[in-house]
Amino acid sequence: MTGEAVAEIEAEEGGPDYGRLQWRIAAGFVLGLVAGILAYTFARDAAWVETLVTYVTNPLGQIFLRLLFMLVIPLLVSALVVGIADMGEVRALKKVGLRTLLYTIIVSSIAVAISIAITNLIKPGAGVDPAEARALLAQGGEGARSIIERSGEAKTGVDAVIGIIPSNFITAMGDNDILAVMFFALFFGIGLLLMSSPRTEVLKQAFEGVFEVSMKLIGLVIQLAPIAVFCFMFNLAAQFGWDLLAKLAAFVAVVLLALGLQMFGVFPILLAFFARMNPITFFKETREASLMAFSTASSNATLPTALRVAETRLKLPPRVSRFVLTIGATANQNGTAMFEGVTVLFLAQFFGVDLSLTDQIFVMVICILAGIGTAGVPGGSLPVIALILGGVGVPPEGIGLILGVDRFLDMCRTVLNVIGDLVCATVISAYSKDVLGDAGAVPAPSL
């Protein structure tokens, strides 16, 4: 996708209106929570609460979720196809491209493994009364159930690996088989990258169009979030009471711990060993990019600042840093991948859904791939989380819990996304002296 396209979407999704929307979502969250806790305290098991949940708050929440789910496949497929096909613009940097890809996969895997290990260890969502959780699962209604239904039966071992390749991608979409759909999109993107003709250029633009329309529609649906969040919080608080707040606090703490480990554990090691750079100097020099990422909660909006920091502060060769940062703003999102991992596992614990090893590996792979498919805009990971939840049989209503604290966590994970890109650019630069010696011109990325 071109930089302008991102900027336009960014301006719409991440503009001042988004800030106001965040306040409305926060208000919906607090009001729903208070109303739910009041109902839990003073009218537990009252018939009118049940009627309200069955006929008002639950259906409203379902409508919001279904609108969101409806848009996820077009959004994800177009983002992946275009993300891969865009690499064609920088074909001259093939070596750097391959190294960046390898780095992204390895470091994202480490990030996701850390987040999954920590969530399994601390279990921030565990301890909810299993009977209550089951009731909530049942109450999810037809809409949620149809989304939850996993394609076919759960596959294991060799079948699970073979199953990633869809024999029919339309069926894969119909079955909500997200991994298979992602595989198809990646494969199609590679095809588009290899075949360049006037017609494939038109096709690529069409995918960009699908992405832009999907983003626009998600922007419209998100306007309903304050009402939906009120409903979700009311339903959950009326059922779980104060327990809910404690679980939520534990969730926020675990996300921050996971992000902190990557930021102050993994990144310094990468910098010191692979780029021979003092991590403290690195963090000092990249402060401006961190601040920008924190305040905008958008990797795309921070891209110009990150590019400047890379060139003027870190003194990285522009040819490498431009390439790595432009691709990385969409494809290398460590913070997002970690957040998605913690969130899915937390909600599974909360709703008492036992995730087998195969399920957890499924979550890991999707989180790593989702790093490529998640747009670098505020709240970009929410639709992806909704989809993963459906894939592992966790009630998508859980999204309501997350939305309430999402803005703050979004600001934090975006810092990790951007700093992760700068670490990547620093490491790749250190290993690209051979490429930098080449005289071949490298096209500047379109911003």
* Interface of this chain with ligand ASP, residues 322 to 351, rule: CB under 6 A: 333, 336
What count of other Cβ atoms lies within 10 Å of the Cβ of residue 245? 13
Nearest distance from residue 376's CB to ligand ASP, in Å?
Answer: 4
410 touches ligand ASP by CB under 6 A = yes
From residue 274 to residue 303, the character string flagging contacts with ligand ASP as x (rule: CB under 6 A) and all else as - is -----------------------xxx----
* Interface of this chain with ligand ASP, residues 228 to 267, rule: CB under 6 A: none
| CB closer to ligand ASP out of 61 and 379 | 379
Nearest to 80 by CA among 182, 178, 165: 182
Nearest distance from residue 14's CB to ligand ASP, in Å?
Answer: 8
Q: Which two tokens stand for residue 385?
A: 């989380």
Asked if 80 and 182 touch (Cβ cutoff 8 Å), the reply is yes
- Residue owning tokens 């059922």: 239
CA atoms within 13 A on the CB side of 56: 10
| CB closer to ligand ASP out of 172 and 228 | 228
| CB closer to ligand ASP out of 208 and 421 | 421
Nearest distance from residue 2's CB to ligand ASP, in Å?
Answer: 17
Would you list the DSSP string of 208-219?
HHHHHHHHHHHH
Nearest distance from residue 10's CB to ligand ASP, in Å?
Answer: 9
| CB closer to ligand ASP out of 231 and 375 | 375
Nearest distance from residue 379's CB to ligand ASP, in Å?
Answer: 5
Nearest distance from residue 143's CB to ligand ASP, in Å?
Answer: 24
| CB closer to ligand ASP out of 144 and 403 | 403
Round to whole Å and give the CA distance between 204 and 227.
36
Nearest to 99 by CA among 218, 290, 275: 275
| CB closer to ligand ASP out of 32 and 378 | 378
| CB closer to ligand ASP out of 247 and 413 | 413
For residue 241, give Cα distances in angstroms to 45, 86, 235, 250: 12, 48, 10, 16
| CB closer to ligand ASP out of 14 and 226 | 14
For residue 442, give Cα distances in angstroms to 96, 303, 321, 439: 11, 19, 12, 9
* Interface of this chain with ligand ASP, residues 359 to 398, rule: CB under 6 A: 374, 376-381
Which part of the chain contacts ligand ASP (CB under 6 A), choosing from 20-28, 80-88, 409-417, 427-435?
409-417
Helix axes 399-430, 299-308, angle to 10 degrees: 20
Three-state helix/strand/coil letters over 328-391:
HHHHCCHHHHHHHHHHHHHHHHHCCCCCCHHHHHHHHHHHHHHHHHCCCCCCCCHHHHHHHHHH
| CB closer to ligand ASP out of 180 and 218 | 218
Nearest distance from residue 90's CB to ligand ASP, in Å?
Answer: 21
Nearest distance from residue 331's CB to ligand ASP, in Å?
Answer: 11
Asked if 61 and 400 touch (Cβ cutoff 8 Å), the reply is yes
414 touches ligand ASP by CB under 6 A = yes
413 touches ligand ASP by CB under 6 A = yes
Size of the site for ligand ASP (CB under 6 A): 16
Three-state helix/strand/coil letters over 56-84:
HHHHHHHHHHHHHHHHHHHHHHHHHHHHH
Q: What kind and span of H or E run contains 432?
A: none
Nearest distance from residue 253's CB to ligand ASP, in Å?
Answer: 18
> Which chain residues interact with ligand ASP by CB under 6 A?
297-299, 333, 336, 374, 376-381, 410, 413-414, 417
